[in-house]
Structure formats: structure tokens, C-alpha cells
């Protein structure tokens, strides 16, 4: 399994992280896995904070 994000750049890096969104699956390296995790957490942070306050 190779990192889908790296493969877009023509680089072959082992995928170590699986990101699943509904039926979509993305294989990612550690670097891209952390980057997407941080971006998703930042995007959802206001919604999570509001749910916790309720």
C-alpha cells in the first residue's frame, strides 16, 4: 500500500495510515496522516466545542 497523497506527486512512500470517510478510503504516510488529522480536527473544532457545551 502506498500513500495516495505522495503518489499524486509521483513519489512512492509506504502508506501506514488509513483514512476512511464513508465509503472512501485513503492510504497515507505518517506525515500526510498527521497533516489530514490536524486539518480535520481544526475544521471540526467549533462543532465539537459547541456539542460539548450543550
Question: Can you give the pTM of this predicted structure?
Answer: 0.73
For the stretch 6-22, pLDDT in tens is 999 999 999 999 999 99
CB atoms within 10 A of CB 29: 19
Torsion of the alpha carbons at 7, 24, 40 and 33, rounded to the nearest 10: -40
For the stretch 26-39, pLDDT in tens is 999 999 999 999 99
8 A C-beta contact, residue 3 and residue 14: yes
Amino acid at each position: 500500500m502506498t500513500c495516495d497523497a505522495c503518489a499524486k506527486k509521483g513519489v512512492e512512500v509506504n502508506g501506514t495510515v488509513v483514512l476512511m470517510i464513508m465509503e472512501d478510503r485513503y492510504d497515507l504516510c505518517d506525515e500526510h496522516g498527521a497533516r489530514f488529522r490536524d486539518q480535520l480536527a481544526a475544521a471540526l473544532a467549533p462543532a465539537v466545542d459547541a456539542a460539548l457545551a450543550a
